[in-house]
A and B are shown apart, each in its own frame.
Chain A
């Protein structure tokens, strides 16, 4: 094979791995790989705050990875191509969604839950409950309280607002933070 062809191939490969970057940070390729934004709800991921502490703990790295993944301009294109491939080759409908009667889409998780099929055994559940109890004691009392109001007493956001005398966005923010903290503590305790 001619040397020239080899260089063209190498350049193509290099260009391929550079494409997401070029699309993200330059004006080149703006009109390529255009796809509508993905529909549906995605929890927003914030860009990570850089601090030495965050870096040392690895928090910065993992959040930045997630942030990048979520906010790549090439993501809608990538997700669509990927879903199509999974559908065509593996006959798989992604995001654990099944096609039900009359073409309605259902998320399997809820169906299984409803039928009690996701039961993992009493022992496992008890273990998880124990772990959660421990984790609840390790977050601050304020955080614990707001979680219990929401998930144990089933208060609505409105009711929590008036109970605590703070605004809607503050309530949501606090719940989210408390939840994140609890999950971190829970996962840390697992190991």
Chain B
């Protein structure tokens, strides 16, 4: 089920909220679990049984890990990792590997393997990471296993964050799973509604409009695409993906707040970063944190002897996080691209940015990010390359946006200019220090008691507009549903 669908907004949401709030405190987990199962069964009925089984297995393995001696502990951990990562690899990557192996085989003159493509169970990339965090935290002795299997199931399939994050690490939420009475109050419910409607508005009013523009431009064949269009297209996609994904996170955080959960923040004005290293502290924060704790540190992290090894580790982490986004060469390339800049940052770029000052650093970093998004968005790697060449082909500069070259014609409508304005305003407003420091009470989960009245009124207006938009337009799933 998609948050921006009629069925969710008109049936699921109101009835979930009413039943949840009317349920006595100690049964609320069960209510939440019931609705979460319904939510997932609507979207991925085939996979829900596999998910149930794997939760049961994880529950018992975690107990075993907790009780066993170190030798057995490691064995159980290994079994659990193989199962979880195996499921992810099988469902997400087997299509990709077999396809590529077939290409290789056919090039060698052999016949390829016959293979029916598997459908990707939605959310698998996200909940696999959560399950790993549960198991590993128990292995590390940081946490004790949950006593009730229903609580573990709730942690994994809690519907707000089930499908596209934020990736909630187990230690961040373990207490709330058992008791969140302190967070269940009217202020949080109103704040939650506000956060939810902000997210819905980001998705419906900005991301969807930008997607029309980005899709049009990315469909223009190379050779006809002008430099002006190429830049505009990458900008449109940059705004689309930011408002789409951060909108989803806002909705998840908002829904969580209404239920008394506090999910971690996922975004912090990423486009004002002054280096790619900083970008990754502001973009998809929960993924970066997860990667740090469960991948970067286990392979050595910062505590390695040589610099070469450190850079290698960094690169591996980014390659894997690129590949995590999807089984395609473009995502691998995108990961390598970002990893390269992280290394360059450590070599000399950070010193360079310091020299040239804040505004220029932000601009350069943003341009690097735009190039990254082109690789991310392009359907094939060659398309990405030719698109990027067009962006930087200064010998053949054609800044025209409306063009008639060959038989392809396209012009920008006024509505896009307005949305561009709104999107840039909200993306770059926090460059002003004062605003960045003070925006949290308004948008964040802190300072709940401030501005409640204004926020609620805004929520009412935005929700009204967004509901009419949802009813009037087609289905627009979130970008991160694919991952």
Contact = CB atoms under 8 A, between A and B. Distances in A.
Nearest to A72: B471
A62 B413 CA distance: 31
B471 A13 contact: no
Interface majority SS (helix, strand, loop, mixed), chain B? helix
Interface stretch (B4-12, B147-155, B160-168, B235-243): B4-12
A10 B471 contact: no
B221 A123 contact: yes
Nearest to A122: B221
B468 A68 contact: no
A119 B456 CA distance: 48
A86 B415 contact: yes
B45 A58 contact: yes
A30 interface: no
A117 B117 contact: no
B182 interface: no
A89 interface: yes
Interface of A: 1, 3, 5-7, 9-10, 12-14, 16-18, 20-21, 24, 55-56, 58, 61-62, 64-66, 68-69, 72, 74-75, 77-79, 81-83, 85-86, 89-92, 112, 115-117, 119-121, 123-124, 191
B193 A10 contact: yes
B221 A124 contact: yes
Given A1-B453, A17-B10, A56-B46, A12 B460 contact: yes
User: Would you list the 7 A-B pairs with minimal beta carbon distance, nearest first?
Assistant: A90-B415, A9-B456, A78-B468, A78-B471, A82-B468, A82-B472, A119-B407
Given A1-B453, A85-B465, 15 more contacts: A6-B186, A6-B456, A7-B186, A9-B456, A18-B14, A20-B467, A56-B45, A65-B6, A75-B472, A77-B468, A78-B471, A92-B413, A92-B414, A120-B221, A191-B117
Contact of A72 (B10, B46, B418): B10
B7 A121 contact: no
Interface string B393-432: 0000000000000011100011100110000000000000
A89 B10 contact: no
B382 to A, nearest CB: 13
B232 to A, nearest CB: 17
B363 interface: no
Contact of B409 (A24, A72, A89, A117): A117
A5 B10 contact: no
Nearest to B409: A117
22 contacts: A6-B187, A6-B190, A6-B456, A9-B456, A10-B456, A12-B456, A13-B193, A17-B463, A20-B471, A61-B7, A65-B6, A69-B471, A75-B471, A78-B472, A81-B468, A82-B469, A83-B472, A91-B415, A117-B407, A121-B221, A123-B221, A124-B221
B464 A16 contact: yes
Interface in B216-230: 219, 221, 224
